[in-house]
Amino acid sequence: MKTQQFDAVVIGAGAAGMAAARTVASRGHSAVLVDREGDLGGILLQCIHNGFGLHRYGEELTGPEFSSRLERELRQAGVPFMGETTVLSIEPNPGEGIFSLLLSSGRGIERLRCRSVILAMGSRERNRGNVRIPGDRPAGVFTAGLAQRLMNIEGYLPGKRAVIVGSGDIGLIMARRLTLSGIEVQAVIELMSYPSGLARNITQCLEDFGIPLYLSHATTRIVGRNRVEGIEIAPIEEGSVRYDRCRSIPCDTVLLSVGLVPENELSSRAGVPLNPVTNGPLVDSRLMTGVPGIFACGNVLHIHDLVDRVAEEAERAGSSCADWLDAADSGRTGGEASADIPLSAGKNVRYTVPSSLSPSREGTVLFRSMVSLDRAAVTLTQGDRVLYTKRVPWVRPAEMQRLDIPAGILESAGSGTCFLALEDGEAKR
**pLDDT tens for each residue of 272-308:** 999 999 999 999 999 999 999 999 999 999 999 999 9
Confidence category of residue 399, pLDDT binned at 50, 70, 90: very high
Cross-strand pairs, 165? 189, 256
Q: How would CATH label the architecture of 127-258?
A: 3-Layer(bba) Sandwich (3.50)
Whether pLDDT at 16 is above 70: yes
Domain covering 341-424 assigned CATH 2.40.128.130 in the classification? no
pLDDT recorded at residue 320: 97
pLDDT recorded at residue 277: 96
Which ranges in 204-351 belong to alpha helices (H)? 265-269, 307-329
Same CATH fold assignment for domains 2-124+261-329 and 127-258: yes
Helix and strand numbers (H, E) in the chain are: 8, 26
Which one, of 142, 149, 138, lies nearest residue 164 by Cα?
142
pLDDT recorded at residue 334: 54
Summarize pLDDT for 322-368 with one digit per residue, the tens: 999 999 988 766 544 558 999 999 999 999 999 999 998 899 999 99
pLDDT recorded at residue 234: 97
Which one, of 333, 321, 298, 293, lies nearest residue 26 by Cα?
321
Summarize pLDDT for 177-210 with one digit per residue, the tens: 999 999 999 999 999 999 999 999 999 999 999 9
Confidence category of residue 163, pLDDT binned at 50, 70, 90: very high
What's the CATH code, domain 2-124+261-329?
Answer: 3.50.50.60
- What are the sequence ranges of the domains in the chain? 2-124+261-329, 127-258, 341-424
Confidence category of residue 252, pLDDT binned at 50, 70, 90: very high
Return mean pLDDT, the chain: 94
Which one, of 108, 139, 112, 93, lies nearest residue 10 by Cα?
112
More confident residue, 90 or 331: 90
Name the percent of the chain lying above pLDDT 90. 88
Residue 172: which H helix or E strand, with range? helix 169-180
pLDDT recorded at residue 426: 64
Name the percent of the chain lying above pLDDT 70. 97
> What does the pLDDT average to over 366-394?
93
Which one, of 200, 204, 218, lies nearest residue 399 by Cα?
200
Alpha carbon 371 to its chain's center: 20
Confidence category of residue 97, pLDDT binned at 50, 70, 90: confident
Whether pLDDT at 96 is above 80: no
Whether pLDDT at 261 is above 80: yes
Confidence category of residue 67, pLDDT binned at 50, 70, 90: very high
CA distances from residue 366 to 285, 343, 405, 424 in whole angstroms, order as listed: 11, 12, 11, 19
The conformation of residue 295, written as its DSSP 8-state character, comes to E
pLDDT recorded at residue 217: 97
More confident residue, 129 or 175: 175
Which ranges in 353-399 belong to alpha helices (H)? none
